[in-house]
Chains A and B, each alone.
Chain A
Amino acid sequence: MRRFEPPTPEALARIRALAERTLSGEEFRAALAIPLGVEEEEESRSLIRWFRGRYPTPAARLAYARRAYRRWAAARPG
């Protein structure tokens, strides 16, 4: 198995710029005009049902999110 090589700072900066860029009004409307597929819709709703069921209060959800972020940050390569 090949060892994971973290992306270079330059590559990360390019990815960040792409993810953070502001779409034009036309791009934004065009993207929103594409309806969600049945499976995608069900997947989103199922995720929401699970989260709200497992963490029934806003406080529990916020606490979960902070734990999840800490786990993600700790596991982040580099």
Chain B
Amino acid sequence: MEGSLFEEAEFFRAVARSGARALLIGRRALIALGIPVLTVDYDFWLHIDDIARFNEAVEPLGLLPTHTPEEARARGRYVAQNDERVDVLVARSVPTVDAVRVAFDEVWPRRLGLEVAPGVIIPVPATADLILTKRFGARPKDLEDIRLLEALRREEGQ
């Protein structure tokens, strides 16, 4: 992980400046909200029309997309990577394991802005929406993360 000159703050700054509608999801979002978990990668849910904008922003940092925007739209996800790995979900809506469709356009207006570096605001889904995104993958670790997010909600009195 230390082979490249990747700077997390620069990465987030580039994403924020790009104007792409990109929600930080996954465990990195849990960490930013205040849940101490371990992760290696970054996960974003990106508006389907903003792929090129996102890629242009992160390519100068050496993060190269595995698929063209057209391919990514067809597949619903792609990866931008070098020594770091950024998983990008690009779907207008995604079903949860229990068949609830979660639409990007409904989640986006409820987003929270987190200052992840001085003057750099990155959006994350509202906690209830972040819990829904954890039902997309439905892996054992997603269960654990949902429990922690629910504990966070109770801690915040939500």
Contact = CB atoms under 8 A, between A and B. Distances in A.
A64 B141 CA distance: 20
A4 interface: no
Contacts of A41: 151, 154
A69 B98 contact: no
Given A52-B34, A58-B115, A61-B34, A23 B139 contact: yes
Chain B, interface size category, equals: 35 or more
Given A19-B139, A36-B147, A61 B154 contact: no
A68 interface: yes
A54 B31 CA distance: 13
Given A19-B141, A62-B31, 8 more contacts: A45-B151, A47-B35, A48-B34, A48-B151, A55-B34, A58-B32, A58-B115, A59-B118
15 contacts: A25-B97, A28-B138, A32-B143, A36-B147, A36-B151, A41-B154, A44-B148, A57-B115, A59-B118, A65-B28, A65-B36, A65-B38, A69-B1, A72-B38, A73-B1
Interface of B: 1-2, 8-9, 28, 31-40, 97-99, 114-118, 135, 137-141, 143, 146-148, 151-152, 154-155
